[in-house]
Each structure stands twice: as C-alpha cells, then as structure tokens.
C-alpha cells in the first residue's frame, strides 16, 4: 500500500470490538469494525477510527438454571487499556454546553503500522450530571439518549479530529449512527465558504463521505421525531436542515442522511445491496461484501498450519486460495485440537459430558427473533430420532439478547427447556457471556456452523466466515454472505427456506433442515471421512480466501476511498 501522504480515512462506528475484554461492542457490527481496522493496520492503510468510550459497556449476561437472562453493567478500567489524551471539544446540545474528552487505543498491524482509535468520553467535570452518562452504555436508554450519543459520535467526533490536526480525505460512516457528521461537515462548508451555494456545499460533503448500510429491516434504521431533534439541537438549526430537500420531514432518518450526503453508498453483501436498493429507490447502492480478519479468527493450531504451508496468508487473505496444497490430515488434526479446547471449556462449566468424538453443531450470535435460535429445536422428536440413528449429537449455543428484547430472552429459555427432552442422544449447552474470545473458540471447535435467519433479514453475517477459516463447513439459509459463499459440495449446505406471505414457514424450514442434516451432512460425516476432510479444506480455499477483511478493505480502498493499490505479489 503506497498512499499519497495526504490520504486519511476516518472510520466512524457506534461500536468497535477492539479486544474481547474491552466492552465497546455488542455483536457483528462492532466485530466488523474491529476487523476492518485490524486489516487496515496490517495493510498499512492511513486510517483512524472514532467511537464512544462506554464506561459501563454493553452488559454482562447472567443466565440462571432456567435460561433466564439478567444483565449487569460491565465494570472495566479504561486506563488499563487506553491512553487518556488532553484534547477536548465542546458542542452545544439540549440547550447547554457539553464537553467531550478523548481516549486513544492503538491497533498495531503486522508490520508495525498503527491505526489509532479515538474513544469519546462525556464523563467530565463541569458537564450536567445527565450528560456525564451519555457515553456510559452501548445501545441502552431511550430515544433522546441515543440521539445525544449520535451527536457526540458524529459532531464531536468530527470536530475532535480537527483538534488533533487531522484532515480526513474520506469519512466512512459504518451504519447511520454517525450520519450527523455529514450535517456538521455541511455546516462547516456553509460557514467557511464566501457566498456559499447549497449545491456546491453538498457536493463537497458527498465527495468526502462513504456510507455503509447494514440493516435490511426498515424498522432497524435510526429515526428521530422532529420535535426531539429540535429539543436537542434547537429549532433554528433544525429548520435550516429541513430546508434541504429530502433530509428531514417529520422525522430525521439517519440512513437517509447517510444516503443523501455520501458519494459512495454500499450494502454489505450482494443480496443485501439488492434489498437495500428496493428499500431506498433512486439511490445507487453498491455491494461490498463483508469479511473477517483472518488472523483474529483462525485458531492457533490452524494458524500454525497456514504458516507452514501458506506463508503470506497474514498479509494477503487470498493466499488461502491455495489451501489445496495442505494435506487434509493436518487440517483435521488442527481442527481436532481446537475442538478439544472447546469441549474442555464446556465441560469446565458444568457436568455437560461433551466428548471430542461426537459430531458437534455450533450456533452463536446475537439472540434476536429473525436469527431463529431455536429453529433446530422446532421438532425435538425428529432431532432426537436422527441423533439416535447416527449415535449422538452435541449442540453448542451462545449469544446475548438485548435487555429489552423479551422475545429473544424467551428463545434462550426455550433452549434450556428442551435440554432434558433431547437426552440422551442430543447433548446441548448454552454458554453464557458470548464475546470475541468465546466466539473464536466456538467457531473453531465445532464440526458444523449453523445459521437459520429469516431471509432476507441477515444483511451479511460474519460468524460463518470465521468458521470457514477454521475448516468448519457452513449449513445456512441462503441469505447474506452465504448467497455468495455457498458452493455446493465444497463449502457447505443450504437450508432452502420458504416463505408464505410475510410469515416465515418455520415448520417447513425445520423439516428441510432435518432432512439435509440427516441425509447429506451426517451421512457424509459418518460415511466418508476423506470427503468431509476435503470439504473442510475447501471451506478454507474457497470461502476464507475471499471472505476476509483484507479483500473487503481493498474494495473499499479502490472503489470508495480513492486510494490506489499496488499489484499484489503473486502467490508463493
């Protein structure tokens, strides 16, 4: 990567997964942000990132013997992980001044290149007591709390970069939470241009802004009633914004802001971009399919295999395309090592009786209705019968439900309720406290990675890409990244889900899942181990080699950031 010295990409995200124990993330969006920055550091990309500090984190998940989830604040000491900086900015919201302070985390790449991450903090003396809590919790509180957080992220965040002497040549808004930065930029151009025209100022903003949408659910886009925006920003500024066509009517829609004020807009998979074009007609929406940071999500044992056979894989994800040269026995052995670690972790948490020789299915992600945590358990009789014929099955579940998502919490309880009904042939465990560390263990240690979203609601999904890096085939509904990643007979299997009107046909989908699991997956696993091992290797060669953030960031760099990349050295 040889960027012009002036190039600087500023990446804004409401959540960023910096490290497992830094509680500034809730799920896929934050992990994607972290993986993007880890790849930027490896690739030497000139990038900085902005997010909020979250002194109380997302939440700690507690699950009782009945599967009932409760939450407590995360207690963590930012000073153990971050560096406090003296910089400060002041913005004016809710009719008063708000001081915003700054912390820094450094992501250090493979060659020592650094990507600084700036975390904004409102817990400063002199701030109103309510305001000191703005940067306490990720995704908690009411609408007003969220809007003030987004003001801090977008407006104070942009201005903070200025006080640091940075002049980004692109602002990448990872989801609509930071879209207010585009309004703030517009205001800056308006105020600093003699005799400004709205068209010229908007064109200047669009040149600088890149917007990635992540949500195929209309209700998933942040929207704020106009009256609330007036309370937070004042009547006059809101009136000014409302004179701009399409930006603000009865409500402020953060995705519309991102779309209207960005020169490059994308969805996070080919399918998701299609769905987004339907949601926002009249906008050009590109597809840049997500990836994961290969070195972060490959188990240490499998990393050693890659290092032996595919040197260069840490620098160029596509090197994994040559995985065919790895003897399958080495992949199987590395996977078995990772599986043993997972099994030991599970058994250390209770008398679960998991064994390394049993076929193990994994399902771990945010618990929210559309992901259908319990689809696999829809017909426990059928599942038990299948398991009894093949010997036995083990299932590992994990994931957090948002504190206010009562339906999600009920799904976790449903998993616990079925535990006894499935004995003795199916052993099932729900691991509490899903985070980056446990995610890495689970994706690497199971035999099959299951994903059952109601299509087309999974924008991309990334946990399956992590599984692929560890030689774990996927079994998924045709949605998100899997529309691109599924190669029949090589990377895994599909659950051909159906829809009757607007309601997902859960019963039918479950029956198809069982049939494929029984007749294709288990019969291959138990009947043809060499073919299974080839599918493990093909998952690396055909899925991991493409679905990584190095490839993804190259696409952003050349298509959205205006950077040029040198040609890659050829595979070794």
Ligand X SMILES: *Cc1c(COP(=O)(O)O)cnc(C)c1O
Query: Does residue 469 sit in helix, strand or coil?
Result: helix
Q: Name which of 176 and 399 has its Cβ closer to ligand X.
A: 399
Q: Which is nearer to ligand X, 180 or 431 (CB)?
A: 431
Q: H-helix or E-strand containing 174? A: strand 170-174
Candidates 23-31, 136-144, 171-179, 280-288: pick the segment binding ligand X (CB under 6 A).
Answer: 23-31
Told to check if 365 binds ligand X by CB under 6 A, we report yes
How far the first Cα of the chain sits from its last, in Å, is 19
Q: What is the DSSP letter of 524?
A: H
Q: How far is the CB of 399 from ligand X (least distance, A)?
A: 8
Q: Based on CB atoms, which residue is closest to ligand X, 422 or 540?
A: 540
**One residue of 8, 31, 257, 265 binding ligand X per CB under 6 A:** 31
Among 299, 462, 476, 491, binds ligand X (CB under 6 A): 462
C-alpha–C-alpha distance, residues 562 and 170, integer Å: 9
For residue 158, count other CB atoms closer than 10 A to its CB. Answer: 23
Number of residues that bind ligand X (CB under 6 A): 13
363 counts as binding ligand X under rule CB under 6 A: no
- When asked if residue 176 is in the footprint of ligand X (CB under 6 A), the reply is no
Dihedral over alpha carbons 533, 539, 542, 546 (to 10 degrees): -150
Q: How far is the CB of 543 from ligand X (least distance, A)?
A: 14
Q: Which of 11, 12, 24, 28 binds ligand X (CB under 6 A)?
A: 28
Per-residue binding string, ligand X, 64-93, x by CB under 6 A, is ------------------------------
Q: How crowded is the C-beta side of 195, counted as CA atoms within 13 Å?
A: 0
- The DSSP bridge pattern shows strands 499-500 and 492-495 to be unpaired
Q: Minimum distance from CB of 491 to ligand X (Å)?
A: 16
Q: How far is the CB of 197 from ligand X (least distance, A)?
A: 43
For the bound state, the minimum distance from the C-beta of residue 534 to ligand X, rounded and expressed in Å, comes to 25
Query: What whole-number distance in Å separates Cα of residue 342 and Cα of residue 142?
Result: 38
Residue 393 beta carbon to ligand X: minimum distance, rounded to whole angstroms? 21
Closest separation in Å from C-beta 251 to ligand X: 28
Burial class (CB within 10 angstroms; exposed 0-12, middle 13-18, buried 19+) of 79:
exposed
Nearest-approach distance from CB 364 to ligand X, in angstroms: 7
Calpha distance 110→43 (Å, rounded): 8
Is 375 one of the binding residues for ligand X (CB under 6 A)? no
Judge residue 431's burial from the number of C-beta atoms within 10 Å of its C-beta, 0-12 exposed, 13-18 middle, 19 or more buried. Answer: buried
Q: Per CB under 6 A, does 461 bind ligand X?
A: yes
Does residue 492 touch ligand X according to CB under 6 A?
A: no
Query: Is residue 463 a contact residue for ligand X (CB under 6 A)?
Result: yes
Tell me, residue by residue from 464 to 483, as one string, x for binding to ligand X by CB under 6 A and - for no binding.
--x-----------------
From the list 24-32, 70-78, 81-89, 280-288, the region that binds ligand X by CB under 6 A is: 24-32
CB of 513 to ligand X, least distance (A): 17
Contact 285, 206 (CB under 8 A): no
Among 23, 27, 116, 445, binds ligand X (CB under 6 A): 27
Helix (H) or strand (E) holding 105: strand 96-108
Q: Furthest-apart CA pair in the chain: how many Å? A: 79
Regarding 434 and contact with ligand X (CB under 6 A), the answer is yes
Task: Give yes or no for residue 439 binding ligand X (CB under 6 A).
Answer: yes
Residue 468: CB partners within 8 Å, gap ≥ 6? 474, 485, 491, 539, 540, 543, 544, 547
Q: Give me the least distance between CB of 363 and ligand X, in Å please.
A: 9
Q: Could you tell me if residue 565 is left (phi over 0), alpha (psi between -120 and 50 degrees) or otherwise beta?
A: beta
DSSP states of 238-262: HHHHHTSTTTBSSEEEHHHHHHHT-
Q: How far is the CB of 320 from ligand X (least distance, A)?
A: 18
DSSP for residue 366: -
Q: Rank residues 105 and 264 by Cβ distance to ligand X and give the closer one.
A: 105
Q: State which H helix or E strand residue 91 sits in.
A: strand 83-93
Residue 34 makes contact with ligand X by CB under 6 A: no
**Span near ligand X by CB under 6 A; candidates 185-193, 338-346, 377-385, 462-470:** 462-470
Q: Which is nearer to ligand X, 266 or 463 (CB)?
A: 463
Answer yes or no: are the C-beta atoms of 415 and 430 closer than 8 Å. yes
CB of 429 to ligand X, least distance (A): 17
Q: How large is the C-alpha radius of gyration of the chain?
A: 24
Only segment of 112-120, 163-171, 309-317, 429-437 that touches ligand X (CB under 6 A): 429-437
Q: How far apart are CA 438 and CA 442, in angstroms?
A: 6
Q: Which residues bind ligand X (CB under 6 A)?
A: 27-28, 31, 365-366, 434-436, 439, 461-463, 466
């Amino acid at each position: 990567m040889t960027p012009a010295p002036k190039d600087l990409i500023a990446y804004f995200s409401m959540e960023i997964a910096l490290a497992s124990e830094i509680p500034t993330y809730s799920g896929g969006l934050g992990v994607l942000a972290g993986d993007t920055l880890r790849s930027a550091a490896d690739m030497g990309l000139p990038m900085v990132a902005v997010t909020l500090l979250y002194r109380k984190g997302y939440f700690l998940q507690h699950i009782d013997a009945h599967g009932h989830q409760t939450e407590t604040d995360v207690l963590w000491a930012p000073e153990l992980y971050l560096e406090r900086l003296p910089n400060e900015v002041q913005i004016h919201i809710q009719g008063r001044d708000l001081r915003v302070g700054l912390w820094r985390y450094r992501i250090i790449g493979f060659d020592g290149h650094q990507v600084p991450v700036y975390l904004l903090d409102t817990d400063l003396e002199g701030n109103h007591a309510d305001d000191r809590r703005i940067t306490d919790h990720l995704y908690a509180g009411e609408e007003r709390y969220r809007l003030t957080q987004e003001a801090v992220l977008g407006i104070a965040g942009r201005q903070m970069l200025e006080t640091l002497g940075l002049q980004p040549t692109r602002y990448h808004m990872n989801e609509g939470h930071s879209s207010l930065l585009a309004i703030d930029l517009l205001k800056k151009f308006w105020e600093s241009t003699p005799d400004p025209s709205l068209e010229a100022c908007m064109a200047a903003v669009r040149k600088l802004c890149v917007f990635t949408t992540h949500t195929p659910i209309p209700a998933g886009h942040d929207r704020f009633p106009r009256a609330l925006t007036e309370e937070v920003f004042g009547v006059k500024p809101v009136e000014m914004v409302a004179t701009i066509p399409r930006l603000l009517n009865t409500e402020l829609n953060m995705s519309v802001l991102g779309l209207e004020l960005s020169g490059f807009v994308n969805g996070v998979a080919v399918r998701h971009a299609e769905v987004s074009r339907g949601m926002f007609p009249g906008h050009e929406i590109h597809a840049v399919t997500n990836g994961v940071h290969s070195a972060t999500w490959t188990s240490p044992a499998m990393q050693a295999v890659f290092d032996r056979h595919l040197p260069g894989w840490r620098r160029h994800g596509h090197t994994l395309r040559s995985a065919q040269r790895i003897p399958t026995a080495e992949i199987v052995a590395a996977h078995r090592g990772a599986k043993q670690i997972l099994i030991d972790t599970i058994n250390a948490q209770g008398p679960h009786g998991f064994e390394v020789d049993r076929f193990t299915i994994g399902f771990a992600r945010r618990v929210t209705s559309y992901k259908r945590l319990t689809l696999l358990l829809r017909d426990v009789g059928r599942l038990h019968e299948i398991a009894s014929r093949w010997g036995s099955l083990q299932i590992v579940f994990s994931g957090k439900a948002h504190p206010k998502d009562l339906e999600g919490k009920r799904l976790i309880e449903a998993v616990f309720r079925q535990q006894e009904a499935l004995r003795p042939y199916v052993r099932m465990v729900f691991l509490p406290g899903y985070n980056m560390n446990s995610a890495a263990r689970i994706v690497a240690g199971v035999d099959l990675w299951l994903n059952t979203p109601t299509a087309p609601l999974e924008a991309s999904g990334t946990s399956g890409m992590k599984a692929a890096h560890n030689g774990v085939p996927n079994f998924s509904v045709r949605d998100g990244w899997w529309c691109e990643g599924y190669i029949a007979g090589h990377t895994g299997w599909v659950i051909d889900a159906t829809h009757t009107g607007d309601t997902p046909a859960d019963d039918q989908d479950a029956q198809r899942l069982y049939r494929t699991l029984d007749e294709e997956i288990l019969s291959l696993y138990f009947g043809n181990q060499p073919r299974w091992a080839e599918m493990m290797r093909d998952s690396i060669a055909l899925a991991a080699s493409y679905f990584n953030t190095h490839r993804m960031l190259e696409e952003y760099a050349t298509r959205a950031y205006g950077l040029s990349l040198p040609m890659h050295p050829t595979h070794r």
